[in-house]
Amino acid sequence: MTPETPPPRLVSARVVVLALALTPLVSWWVFCVEIVHPSIHASVVSIFWTAVDVLSLALAANALLRRWAPGWVLSRGELLVLYSLIAMATSLSSHDLTQILLPLMVVPYRFATPENRWRELFFDHLPQRLLVPDAAAVRAFFEGHANFWDPDFVGLWVGPLVCWAVLVGAVLAWMLGMSLLLRRAWCDEERLSFPCIHLPLQMTSEEAGLWRSPYLWLGFGLAAAICLLRAGHALHPAVPELRTKWDLRLYVTERPWRAIGWTPVCVYPFAIGLAWFMPQDLAFSTWFFYLFWKGQMVLREWLGWGPLAGPYASDQSAGAWVAIGLFALGASRRPITEALRRAWRADARDAGEPVAGRSALLLFVVGLVGMVWFTHALGLAWWPAVGFAVVYAVLAASVTRMRAELGPPTHDLYYAGPDWALTASLGPAALGVRNLTALSVLFWLTRDYRSLPMPHQLEAFRLHDWHRATRREGNRLAGALLLVGVVGFLAAAATALTEYYDHGGLTGIRGYGTGLAREAFNRLDGWLTRAKPGPDRPALTQFAGGGGLTLALMALRRRFLGVAFHPVGYAIAGSWTMSWLWFSVFLSWLAKGFVLRHGGLRRFRAAMPFFLGLMLGDYLVGGGVTLLSMWFERPVPGFFT
């Protein structure tokens, strides 16, 4: 770029308005196909199908506008901003955030019975202003055949949702501030690869010639054919079924091997394509440590030790996640300290940052303080509120680092957030009923971390760096991310509540959104009635073992080059989502290893369009066929079910 060339315009008003206009539609689409007529679980994988589909539609519209209205054509920078904003909106409307919050606001009033004694156990400690206790509103939510926009109903939800939006704004603010403070260390100095942004970059690049590659369309056609056959069989059984999923549990019946339990073997083209861009050691570690986890289960059965706590290796994974987060922050301590020093002094060297360092620091501090204040007002004492925020921040940094460096297909940590850390380390009795009730109401933030907003914020600024945009554009991008995030939360809530009141949470809704919210209060019931006094020593042992093994793997990799075992693979392997994806990652690892060994880097690059085509075929066709489930009002399987 010459000095006379004007800086590119990325965050234009039309792109932000377009993203805001599409946000309610995206939220409605996500909720309908994941909960109302469950046909896909795609908001639990790293790259959201909604963002890819919207970007593809925008590219198609650009092709038409170039001929008829060139002035309305979106630039590449605007397209990438649109992609980032739609990803942010999807994050807030996803399986692990708003979809859990809404039923959580009414579940205790519906399922409290004289037998479970919930009213005596914890109702006095529920934050009434953040929930909806009205009997008529609760009944209509679960039984349906009502209009949410009736003033008698909508007025009961507005106040609590606005309060929750304050918490969402605070969480997004400190995540954005942390992303900006880490940006220089991870993007400029360590130059992490950000594999998850490779697909949108290739889709919008005119120089790459992706759309003219025959290998792209070969991969696209293969994935599309699988999706269409699967959807056709669901709509009409005469269409032959193409089987792509098996369960090894059905073929292993002898002790101790039967201890492996549910072990799916699935072929997902999008996962094969995504794993192609993962480092080989991470791809190997992902499937290896999944089998390692299953081996632990067999060994424990053989020795008579009993199964691991919980359905997944969450306690070990929690230790690995915390170790990765602390290690990432510790390794970047000098750049972070320098960034804080520049922010405090308003150093001139801060001019290269997309947002002023002082503004980033202010976002982080104000957002984190706001989160602590909100959780304290919710019912947490000050010290658990601070501990909750600190553990949550470490986990967020861990997820963001994983994606920035390695691009795993998912980052799934079930039931092992700050609420688990507090109760396992101290014991439920030490926290008391009020703190435990507040932690249960915050369950929608801590159940899982597959759709956490912070990685998408940092990736948006990495795309910003790609275009060497100005400070003014960086400020606009930060504001747009916050705006679309809060609007996305409110839009997701409004569209989901419309569907709940129309279909009914227990009658017409086929997904398990209500069931996820019930988990919070069933767990609270267990804490108050069945928990043993004192810390959970078995869980803490697993936590320490996972953290220790992760630190050992990190030290081993730093000392010896070529070590194939990657700690991130260990951290993400023992989860629900990776149970579905591990075999696809194995196939990609096998194919990539063969190509690199026999064809070298040149063949690897030549094969890239084919694997991008696998991803696009699943995302565009497999995501598009979910619209049929909305049209026919019945589940039509998408690309990840």
Dihedral angle sign, alpha carbons of residues 97, 566, 388, 522: positive
pLDDT at 405: 87
The Cα 203–Cα 188 span in angstroms is: 24
> Residue 154: helix, strand or coil by DSSP?
helix
- Structure confidence at residue 2 as a pLDDT band (50, 70, 90): very low
Q: Give yes or no for residue 189 having a pLDDT over 90.
A: no
H helices of 304-406, in order, are: 314-331, 333-345, 357-378, 382-405
Q: Give yes or no for residue 428 having a pLDDT over 90.
A: yes
Q: Are 192 and 186 in contact (CB under 8 A)?
A: yes
> What torsion, rounded to 10 degrees, do the Cα atoms 79, 450, 133, 147 define?
40
φ/ψ of residue 263, rounded to 5: -135, 85
- Structure confidence at residue 1 as a pLDDT band (50, 70, 90): very low
State the average pLDDT over residues 458-472.
80
Evaluate whether residue 71 is within a structural domain: yes
Q: Are 513 and 447 in contact (CB under 8 A)?
A: no
State the average pLDDT over residues 563-583.
89
The Cα 585–Cα 569 span in angstroms is: 11
- Structure confidence at residue 357 as a pLDDT band (50, 70, 90): confident
pLDDT at 346: 61
Provide the token pair at 293. 């986890």
Say how many C-beta atoms besides its own lie within 10 A of residue 61's C-beta: 13
pLDDT at 261: 87
State the average pLDDT over residues 39-49.
87
Q: Give yes or no for residue 309 having a pLDDT over 70.
A: no
> What torsion, rounded to 10 degrees, do the Cα atoms 417, 365, 468, 611 define?
10
Q: Give yes or no for residue 308 having a pLDDT over 80.
A: no
- Is pLDDT larger for residue 188 or for residue 426? 426
Q: Give yes or no for residue 412 having a pLDDT over 90.
A: no
The Cα 506–Cα 605 span in angstroms is: 50
What does the radius of gyration of the chain's CA atoms come to, in whole angstroms? 24
Say how many C-beta atoms besides its own lie within 10 A of residue 90's C-beta: 26
> Residue 564: helix, strand or coil by DSSP?
coil
Would you give the DSSP letter of residue 601?
H
User: How many domains does the chain contain in total?
Assistant: 1
List of residues 6+ apart from 340 with CB closer than 8 A: 181, 357, 361
Say how many C-beta atoms besides its own lie within 10 A of residue 358's C-beta: 16
Which amino acid is present at 143? E
Name the residue among 54, 36, 159 with its Cα closest to residue 495. Answer: 36
Classify residue 81 by burial, with Cβ atoms within 10 Å: 0-12, 13-18, 19+: buried
> Residue 641: helix, strand or coil by DSSP?
coil
Long-range (24+ apart) CB contacts under 8 A made by 367-373 are: 367/169, 367/170, 367/171, 367/172, 367/173, 367/174, 367/175, 367/176, 367/177, 368/170, 368/174, 368/393, 370/166, 370/167, 370/169, 370/170, 370/173, 370/174, 371/167, 371/170, 371/171, 371/174
Q: Are 289 and 629 in contact (CB under 8 A)?
A: no
- Structure confidence at residue 560 as a pLDDT band (50, 70, 90): confident
pLDDT at 587: 96
Q: Are 387 and 422 in contact (CB under 8 A)?
A: yes
Evaluate whether residue 167 is within a structural domain: yes
H helices of 149-256, in order, are: 151-183, 198-204, 214-235
Condensed to tens digits (0 to 9), the pLDDT of residues 374-410 reads 999 999 999 999 999 999 999 999 999 999 988 888 8
State the average pLDDT over residues 480-490.
95
State the average pLDDT over residues 474-479.
91
Say how many C-beta atoms besides its own lie within 10 A of residue 561's C-beta: 6
Would you give the DSSP letter of residue 602?
H
Instruction: Please report, rounded to a whole number, the percentage of residues in the chain having pLDDT higher than 70.
Output: 96
Alpha-carbon distances, residue 222 vs 297, 526, 611 (angstroms): 36, 48, 11
pLDDT at 42: 78
Evaluate whether residue 639 is within a structural domain: no
Q: Are 490 and 115 in contact (CB under 8 A)?
A: no
pLDDT at 254: 86
Say how many C-beta atoms besides its own lie within 10 A of residue 169's C-beta: 18
pLDDT at 312: 66
List of residues 6+ apart from 67 with CB closer than 8 A: none
Q: Give yes or no for residue 220 having a pLDDT over 70.
A: yes
Q: Which domain holds residue 40?
A: 13-632
Would you give the DSSP letter of residue 307?
P
Provide the token pair at 343. 């922010």
Lowest mean pLDDT, pick from 4-8, 35-39, 170-174, 210-214: 4-8
State the average pLDDT over residues 168-181.
94
Half-sphere exposure of 366 (CA within 13 A, CB side): 12
- Is pLDDT larger for residue 469 or for residue 239? 239
- Is pLDDT larger for residue 187 or for residue 15? 15
Evaluate whether residue 5 is within a structural domain: no
Name the residue among 430, 343, 448, 438 with its Cα closest to residue 385. Answer: 438
pLDDT at 205: 86
H-helix or E-strand containing 71? Answer: none
Say how many C-beta atoms besides its own lie within 10 A of residue 120's C-beta: 10
The Cα 340–Cα 337 span in angstroms is: 5
pLDDT at 495: 94
pLDDT at 287: 93
Evaluate whether residue 2 is within a structural domain: no
Evaluate whether residue 547 is within a structural domain: yes
Q: Give yes or no for residue 468 having a pLDDT over 70.
A: no
Instruction: Give the relative orientation of helices 151-183 and 357-378 as an angle to the nearest 10 degrees.
Output: 140
Q: Are 602 and 438 in contact (CB under 8 A)?
A: no
Mean confidence (pLDDT) of the chain: 89
Evaluate whether residue 451 is within a structural domain: yes
Name the residue among 585, 615, 443, 614 with its Cα closest to residue 525. Answer: 443
Classify residue 381 by burial, with Cβ atoms within 10 Å: 0-12, 13-18, 19+: middle
Evaluate whether residue 156 is within a structural domain: yes
State the average pLDDT over residues 109-121.
93
Would you give the DSSP letter of residue 574?
S
Condensed to tens digits (0 to 9), the pLDDT of residues 439-450 reads 999 999 999 999
pLDDT at 347: 57
Condensed to tens digits (0 to 9), the pLDDT of residues 519-533 reads 999 999 999 998 888
List of residues 6+ apart from 246 with CB closer than 8 A: 264, 265, 266
